[in-house]
Structure 1
Amino acid sequence: MLNLYSFFHLNLMYSSIPLDKRKTVINNCYWPLLRLCEELDVPLGLEVTGLTLEKINELDPEWIKKLKELIKQNKCELIGSGYAQVIGPLVPAKVNDWNQKLGLKVYKDLLGVEPAIALVSEMAYSVGIVEHYLNHGYKAIIMEWNNPRRCHPEWENEWRYHPQMVKSLAGGEIAVVWADSIAFQKFQRYAHGEYCWAEYYEYLTSHLSEKERFFSLYSNDVEIFDFRPGRYHTEALLGTKKEWQRIFALFEKLGADSNFSLVLPSQILFSLGHEFAGNVIRLESAQQPIPVKKQEKYNINRWALTGRADLEINTKCFEIYATLERLKNTTAQDWQELCYLWSSDFRTHIGEKRWQKYQERLDCCYKKVVKPRPLSLATQILSVKQMDKAAFQYHEDDRWLIVESKTIKCIFNKLKGLAIDKLWFKNVFSKPLLGTLPHGYYDDISFGADFFSGHLIIEKEGQHKITDLVCCQPLIVQETNQVLRISFSHDFNGGIIKKEYQYCADTEELKINTELVLLQGRKRRIIHPLNLTFLPTGFERESVFFATHNGGNELEVFPLEDQLINHAQSLSALISAKHGLGATQGLVVVGDRQKQLLISHDQSESALIPSVYYVPMGGDQYFLRLQYSAQELDETFVENDKEQRIISKYILRPVGNLKK
């Protein structure tokens, strides 16, 4: 017996649905869904944000009444997700907490229920966000099977047919109900008339077994049946035969087939005692810290660094968040507005009219909350004072600039734009932790290049890279007896790069500030404003790891071990990167069991996405680089001619031992 469960994702905020089509969506997509439950007694889950419920209630309150009635009759069940469709691993923990709190309030106010199961928004999962579902009373979350399974070959395949368990970083456990991307895409193709019944039935029966199993029949959008959002030119054409008719007929056939039983998603939780259920597993991995549903082009970069201006609007949201955190008298309405502004639907295929309205609303909130700040690094330079040789020592020749304080020593390469050749934290380790690996360092010819640190890279398809690895004469300025600045600027065809290192004599910090001005506007190119290469002699290979926050309060720690990890690997000419880190508290830690280096960046200056590239090699050798991205490419990317200015600020400092 194969127990089939389904849920449909309702989202009136869908990026490519025009505002004047929302009533059409309710009529063409949402009402047929309720009729499916009422007329055929098909048990379904309906996942909907609080925001979409509010919009439906404004346009068609009768639909809300009918849904409430069907839930009471146990013909369908509500699946939660939050107030807005927020990508949890990309926003701070407090925003995630408010999003769940506000969503539950709307569910209670409009439907009189509190759902037991939540869908992870866009099925973009991190272990850090588990705490938010537990804290708000959820018993289970829905997450896709396919992508986590690919990175966990140790899992038994039978686990896909039963609920499993995951732990939060604090140790709390919650059940996982599986969605399946291949299954829901098969369902869509059948509904759109691309498959005949025999083809689709053959697929479903391939999951039959003598053992009892549960399988996700459908777990995705409802707005694609008898309606087309218009995201892609490849969307199936609306045919003459109604798609909802095919869906109704499908469920009638399945209901009459003794091989299958139609159940509510929550009924799967009764099988937690099954021999293949209830295993405590990790969905995340060092290779894929934030698994996302569907094929690899769907990854967190599509909501962080692409779209019409994802970096800019996310940076403004982080600025608003940072200001609200400092204020004492914030209200639920303040946080609700921020959740709305952080909705994923403004970051992908949004149309021009909705984009303009969103920008106006974001700017209104921004001006209301955030105080103006300096627009460039140059405005922050203070008066020059005489060099205090007791605090700093430096030596300079035609190639090298060596600067040393009581706690830090750094060698900069003047022929390569002040790239870091070696960086020591003297109280931590006798050897440098990061710097430059010269050509020939590795025997492997695929690594036969110089690997620098502290530099910027811009890549445009079919063109040479633009970097700041140029010959320079740095400006050395001592503001006070304790602060030393080393800077230079580089003009190139189409823009300006400014870079500054800052020492503070009484701390173990090295600050790196960069400013990139692109005069021709936002064009199709990849922008990595900072790259850091770690020296294999600095961290022990057996215990080297990285750690960060991806939407939670606690650090997520990822041992590197003997895995090949390349988060920023290109998927195709269209998709420039596969993975990344949310770094929602603006920090990444790289270290081993004896020492750790914290690299922080100011998300309210630029909401960058870090990524890790790690290649284990023979003996104690490895290649390890941390890279920050300000722009990636995918099918949602839209160019504009407005001057692009990217300011990013980083602090490098050692930290105490982390619990691993």
Structure 2
Amino acid sequence: MNKLFYKIYHGNLAFSAIEEEALAEVIDKTYFSLLELIEKDNLKVGLELSAYSLEKVQELRPLWIEKFKELHKKGLIELIGSGYMQLIGPLVPYEININNQKIGLEVYNNILGIVPTIAYINEQVFSKSMVDIYVEAGYKAISMEWNNAYSIHPQEWKKEYSFQPVVAKGLNSTIPILWTNTIVFQQFQRMAHQEISVDEYTTMIQHHLNIGYKALPIYSSDLEIFNYRPGRFETEAIITTDEWERISNAMNKIKEYGKFCLPSEIIEKSLDSNIELDLTTTANPILVKKQSKYSLSRWAACGRGTNLINTLCYNYLTNYGINKKLLQYWGSDYRTHTTIKKWNKAIDFLTQENQDSNDKHKTIINDITLKEENNKLIFEKDNHKIVFNKLKGLVLDKIYKNGKLLQFGTVWHGDLDYISHGADFYTGTTTLESADIRKIADLYEIENYTFDKVDDNKYKLSTTINMKGQATEYKSWIIDLDNNTIALDINLELKEFIKGSIRLGGLTLLPQDKDSNFWYECKNGGQEYERFNIDDSIKIEHSQAKSLLQSSSNGMGVTDGVLRFGIDKDIICEIEIDREISYPFVMLQNSYDHDKYLTRIFFGLQELDDTLKVSENREFRLRYKINI
């Protein structure tokens, strides 16, 4: 079988660091240059383009549209789908995902008369639900990164699975997957930017062919970085030569070793439908592209104020429904290196009619007095007993219902055997952490509190905590006996910006037996819950820092706000986040002890990575409720 090559250039005119005024220049230097390369060298190429970007091209350079159609008719270029906007599918609700794809397909057809059959997973961020989304939208295949998926399946997967397209499993469907390869495309970029020679590059290509690749993804990343620099990084290479000419020379050289095909031709010629792969794992329910600095927090809790814009987008969806502007501002590029001008425009649009979603509780005559025993505040009514800890920032100690202990609260020092678990683990804790302030928790003794009855069978316990002068925290527990819930409501006001993580209201499950059928489930961008089983071979460390510059490792979408834990068929803890109050980044920590698990959930309102910018926002909110 002849060796096959394919390329998918990723075009994105919402590119975070590029101002609107520069888009015409970007199109001239990169989009037209790509078409010229294809025509000159008779080179087959795939181009992934968001429908938003296509609209911008039509507005600014309509001639490009005609040239694209001409090359498409000749069979030299294939449109790869993206959706209306490039957004992070596993972090947004199902309605946004499916409408993003459907609106995108309509725009492609209206402007180009083309309906793409292959979709490039946005930002290469994947959950199992994405398979079902793209199948429902009508796509026949997806394109997704190999490297990180392979890295989390070192024992089960063979390297040979990357040598040709295979099949990816979703929750209810499967779809062919055309691999992208980060190492290979980064070598292409280094060659184009003169960091390595063309000869060194072709030697690398030969190496991959020699080890067995049948279909090699030559390139699968940004289009706008050749003969142009977006200005994201200080280390961007200086342009000293015609990079498109350099690419042309390299591609003509490697034609000696294989044949360039369109992405759909690669699937037709080399798909191995006998290999079906589950890309995710219990510890990694969501996959992210490239090297480790690309944590999921990048689009969930970093940037100029990602939690803020995610919350505003969710409220806009709730109040006004879906339109192109909402899809645009839910785009991934507004969450990383976006310019202040683009950021302000987005925030102004999303807040113009945003409703105040704060609760306005009335206060009525209270029929209960809290008991105080051994620095604990004890609420008792009907069949409920709820204990709070005054010494530790009014954290939740334990809850009894009908005399039975519920499975969340505080795990005390000495409850577990391993020395790594020799500490107290609370429910309702807030932490601030950075290189400047180190780590500050809200675990202070409570001197003053209020306890009010706010409805017929609803009570509110509140306090204010000064966190070493860095922040003031307003913490409330709301006990709703009619609806059998307890809610935690936190409002944190920072004195000044913190270049680090802000995590509110962390929750701890009571230790579960290792020999139990223990699981968790949530939605990661789809219609259905994704369930993951936990066993003692699995360590989940989403909240662990990857480095001094990366405060978390992974996380979950929890895109309808609900996170459940269970044993066998029973739910032992169900948490529901109020997404209208805030859209936190949810992280799971699970480690095993001698015969138990320690399980903790963290809610990141801000995380640290290379995209985090100084923000004027000083207020952070979190509200979630737990069934009791």
Q: TM-score range by the shorter chain?
A: over 0.9
- Once the two structures are overlaid, the 10-residue window that deviates more, 129-138 or 52-61, is 129-138
Cross-structure match for 1:246? 246
Q: Deviations over 1:64-107 (max 9, x none)?
A: 11001111111110000100111111111101111111111111
- For residues 338-383 of structure 1, the C-alpha deviation after alignment (integer angstroms, 9 at most, x for no partner) is 101111111111222322333333334xx1xx43333xx6xx3422
* Structure 2 residue ranges without an equivalent (≥5): none
Correspondence for 2:529 = 555
Query: TM-score normalized by structure 1?
Result: 0.91
SS in 2 for 1:581: coil
Structure 2 Cα separation of the partners of residues 198 and 425 of structure 1: 72
Q: Does 1:145 align with 2:174?
A: no
Tell me, in whole angstroms, the C-alpha distance in 1 between the residues paired with 2:483 and 2:328. 40
Corresponding residue number in structure 2 for 1:163: 165
**Aligned residue for 1:516?**
492
| 2:135 match: secondary structure | helix
Match of 1:328 in 2: none
CA distance in 1, matches of 2:340, 2:508: 40
Q: What amino acid sits opposite 1:291 in the alignment?
A: L
Take 1:212 and 1:463, find their aligned partners in 2: how far apart are those partners?
Answer: 50
Q: Deviations for 1:101-143, whole angstroms, at most 9, x for unmatched residues?
A: 1111111011101000000100011112222211121000111
**1:293 is matched with which residue?**
289
The SS at the match of 1:229 is: coil
Partners of 2:206 and 2:233 in 1: how far apart? 31
| Aligned residue number for residue 569 of structure 1 | 544
Structural mapping, 1:268-287, within 5 Å: 268-271=266-269, 274=272, 277-287=273-283
Match of 1:479 in 2: 454
Compute the displacement of 1:502 (Å).
1.5
* Corresponding residue of 2:327: 339
For 2:617 and 2:470, locate their aligned partners in 1 and report how far apart those are by CA, in whole Å. 10
Which region of structure 1 is more displaced relative to structure 2, 27-36 or 59-68?
Answer: 27-36
Partner of 1:330: none
Q: Which residue of 2 aligns with 1:395?
A: 371
Distance 1:481 1:184 in 2: 63
Alignment CA distance shift 1:211-1:86 (3 Å): closer
One of 555, 563, 578 as aligned partner of 1:602: 578
In the alignment, which residue of structure 2 is the partner of 1:625? Answer: 600
Q: Aligned to 2:483, which of 507, 511, 517?
A: 507
Letter in 2 for 1:22: L
Per the alignment, residue 443 of structure 2 pairs with 469
For the residues of structure 1 that align with 2:213 and 2:289, how far apart are their CA atoms?
26
What amino acid is the match of 1:546? Answer: Y
Deviation at 1:573, TM superposition (A): 1.4
Residue range with higher mean Cα deviation, 205-214 or 261-270? 205-214
Contact 2:164–2:271, Cα closer than 8 Å, also in 1: no
- How far the C-alpha of 1:14 sits from its partner, in A, is 0.5
Superposition map of 1:11-410 within 5 A: 11-153=12-154, 154-169=156-171, 171-209=172-210, 213-239=214-240, 241-255=241-255, 257=256, 259-271=257-269, 274=272, 277-324=273-320, 334-364=322-352, 367=353, 370-374=354-358, 380-387=360-367, 395-406=371-382, 408-410=384-386
Deviation for aligned residue 1:398: 4.1
1:434 matched residue in structure 2: 408
Aligned position for 1:652: 626
1:166 deviates by 2.2
- AA of the residue aligned to 1:372: D
Aligned to 2:29, the other structure's residue is in SS state helix
Aligned to 1:491: 466
Given that 1:2 and 1:207 are in contact with CA atoms closer than 8 Å, whether structure 2 keeps it comes out as no
Q: Could you tell me which amino acid in structure 2 is paired with residue 443 of structure 1?
A: D
Deviation at 1:313, TM superposition (A): 1.0
Distance 1:471 1:569 in 2: 27
The counterpart of 2:591, out of the listed 577, 592, 615, is 615
Greater Cα offset, 471-480 or 22-31: 471-480
How many residue pairs match? The answer is: 622
145 and 491 in structure 1: CA distance in 2 versus 1, 3 angstrom threshold = same
SS in structure 1 at match of 2:25: helix
The 3 A distance-change label for structure 1 pair 295 and 211 is: closer
Return the offset for 1:212.
Answer: 6.5
When the two chains are superposed, the root-mean-square deviation of aligned CA atoms in Å is 1.9
Letter in 2 for 1:644: R
Q: 1:243 to 1:426 in 2, by over 3 A?
A: farther
Matched to 1:471, the amino acid is E
Amino acid at match of 2:252: E
Deviation, 1:305, is 0.9
CA distance in 1, matches of 2:470, 2:28: 50
1:271 CA displacement? 4.3
Distance change >3 Å, CA 540–CA 506, structure 1 → 2: farther
CA offset digits 1:185-229 (Å, max 9, x no partner): 010001111111232122111222486611111000011111111
CA distance in 2, matches of 1:306, 1:250: 38
SS at the partner of 1:84? coil
Q: 1:338 to 1:426 in 2, by over 3 A?
A: farther
Paired position in structure 2 for 1:331: none
Alignment partner of 1:441: what SS?
A: coil
| 2:166–2:271 contact (8 Å) kept in structure 1 | no
Quick check: 2:215–2:270 contact (8 Å CA) kept in 1?
no
Choose which of 552, 555, 561 in structure 2 pairs with 1:580: 555
SS in 2 for 1:339: helix
Q: Deviation at 1:237? A: 1.5
Relative to structure 1, the CA distance from residue 98 to residue 387 in structure 2 (aligned partners, 3 Å threshold; closer, same or farther) is same
Whether the aligned pair in 2 keeps the contact of 1:568 and 1:611 (CA below 8 Å) is yes
CA distance in 2 between counterparts of 1:471 and 1:483 reads 25
SS of aligned partner of 1:396:
strand
Q: Say whether residues 1:528 and 2:503 are aligned partners.
A: yes
Confirm or deny: 8 A CA contact 1:414 1:474 kept in the other structure: no
8 A Cα contact 1:407 1:507, kept in partner: no
1 CA distance for matches of 2:561 and 2:568?
22
Cα distance in structure 2, aligned partners of 1:398 and 1:616? 31
Q: Among all aligned residue pairs of Structure 1 and Structure 2, give the percentage whose two residues are the same amino acid.
A: 34
- Structure 1 contact 407–508 (Cα < 8 Å) conserved: no
**Contact 1:425/1:508 (<8 A) preserved:** no
Counterpart CA distance in 2 for 1:347 and 1:650 is 24
Greater shift, 177-186 or 284-293, is seen at 284-293
Query: CA offsets per residue over residues 527-546 of structure 1, 9 Å max, x none?
Result: 11011111114x66532121
| CA deviations over 1:267-298 (Å, ceiling 9, x no partner) | 22124664xx5422111112221111101211
Distance in 2 separating the partners of 1:359 and 1:513:
24
User: Displacement, 1:260?
Assistant: 1.5
> Closer, same or farther in 2 for the Cα pair 1:449/1:97, shift >3 Å?
same
Structure 1 residue 407 displacement after superposition: 5.0
Give yes or no for contact 1:385–1:480 (8 Å, CA) kept in 2: no
Going from structure 1 to structure 2, the CA distance change for 1:594 and 1:172 (only over 3 Å counts) comes to closer
Q: CA deviation at 1:464?
A: 4.1
